[in-house]
Amino acid sequence: MKAGESLVSSSEQLAASFETMRDPQPEPVLSRRALLQNSTVLATTVAAAVTFQPASVSAQETPPTPAMRTPHRISTASVDVNPPSPEIIALNRIAFGPRPGDLDALMALGSNSEERLRAFVDQQLAPETIDDSQCDTILAAQGFTTLTKSRQQLWTDHAIGDVPWNERIRPLNETIQATFLRAIYSKRQLVEVLADFWHNHFNVYAWDRWAASTWVHYDRDVIRGNLLGNFRQMLGAVAKSPAMLYYLDNISNTSAGPNENYARELFELHTLGAENYFGVASIVGPDGGYHHPAPKDTNGVALMYIDEDVYAATQCFTGWRIDQATGNFRFDDSVHAKYSKIVLAKATPSGAGVQDGEFVLDLLANHPGTARYICRKLCRRLISDNPPESIVEAAANVFYTKRNEPDQLKQVVRTILLSSEFRSTWGEKIKRPFEYVVSLLRAANANFAWSNDFRWRYEPLGQALFSWPPPDGYPDTKERWTGTMTILQRWRICNWLMDGWKIGGEGEDKNNLRIDCLAQTPAHIRKPTDLVDFWSRRILGRLLPAEERQPIVEFMAAGRNPDQDLPENQIAERLRFMVGLIFMSPSFQWR
Residue-wise pLDDT tens digits, 111-131? 999 999 999 999 999 999 999
Identify whether 329 is part of a domain.
no
Contact 244, 238 (CB under 8 A): yes
Identify whether 534 is part of a domain.
yes
Identify whether 162 is part of a domain.
no
pLDDT band, very low/low/confident/very high, at 12 (cuts 50, 70, 90) = low
Quote the pLDDT of residue 432: 97
Task: Look at residue 259 and tell me whether its pLDDT is greater than 60.
Answer: yes
Task: Look at residue 326 and tell me whether its pLDDT is greater than 50.
Answer: yes
Judged by average pLDDT, the poorest of 184-193, 384-393, 495-504 is 495-504
Give the Cα separation of 418 and 89 in Å (integer).
Answer: 12
Tally of structural domains, the chain: 2
For the chain, give the percent of residues with pLDDT over 70. Answer: 84
pTM of the model: 0.88
Mean pLDDT on 371-385: 98
pLDDT band, very low/low/confident/very high, at 280 (cuts 50, 70, 90) = confident
The number of C-alpha atoms within 13 Å of 472 and in the hemisphere containing its C-beta is: 10
Q: What's the domain range around 409? A: 369-424
pLDDT band, very low/low/confident/very high, at 196 (cuts 50, 70, 90) = very high
Structure confidence by residue, pLDDT tens digits, 149-178: 999 999 999 999 999 999 999 999 999 999
Judged by average pLDDT, the poorest of 288-302, 305-319, 454-468 is 288-302
The more confidently predicted of residues 55 and 387 is 387
Longest dimension (CA), the chain: 90
What does the DSSP assignment read for 315-374? Answer: HHTTTEEE-TTT--EEE-GGGS--S--EETTEEPPTT-THHHHHHHHHHHHT-HHHHHHH
Structure confidence by residue, pLDDT tens digits, 91-101: 999 999 999 99
Dihedral (CA of 151, 156, 160, 163) sign: negative
Quote the pLDDT of residue 17: 52
Identify whether 583 is part of a domain.
yes
Identify whether 307 is part of a domain.
no
Q: Which of 381, 400, 424 is the last residue of a domain?
A: 424
Task: Look at residue 385 and tell me whether its pLDDT is greater than 70.
Answer: yes
Contact 291, 308 (CB under 8 A): no
For the chain, give the percent of residues with pLDDT over 90. Answer: 77
Quote the pLDDT of residue 51: 30
Quote the pLDDT of residue 112: 97
Quote the pLDDT of residue 240: 98
Identify whether 58 is part of a domain.
no
Identify whether 411 is part of a domain.
yes
Q: Which of 424, 449, 467 is the last residue of a domain?
A: 424
Identify whether 392 is part of a domain.
yes
The one-letter amino acid at 584: M
Task: Look at residue 11 and tell me whether its pLDDT is greater than 90.
Answer: no
| Cβ neighbour number for residue 47 with a 10 Å cutoff | 28
Give the Cα separation of 283 and 136 in Å (integer).
Answer: 55
The number of C-alpha atoms within 13 Å of 591 and in the hemisphere containing its C-beta is: 28
Structure confidence by residue, pLDDT tens digits, 528-578: 999 999 999 999 999 999 999 999 999 999 999 999 999 999 999 999 999
Q: Which of 377, 405, 424 is the last residue of a domain?
A: 424
Quote the pLDDT of residue 514: 73
What does the DSSP assignment read for 428-484? Answer: S-B--HHHHHHHHHHHTT------HHHHHHHGGGS--TT---STT-S--SGGGG-SH
Residues paired with residue 322 on neighbouring β-strands, in sequence order: 329
The more confidently predicted of residues 15 and 252 is 252
Mean pLDDT on 204-218: 97
SS3 582: helix
Please, which residues have CB within 8 angstroms of residue 491's CB and are 6 or more apart in sequence? 42, 43, 46, 47, 584
Task: Look at residue 509 and tell me whether its pLDDT is greater than 60.
Answer: no
Task: Look at residue 493 and tell me whether its pLDDT is greater than 50.
Answer: yes
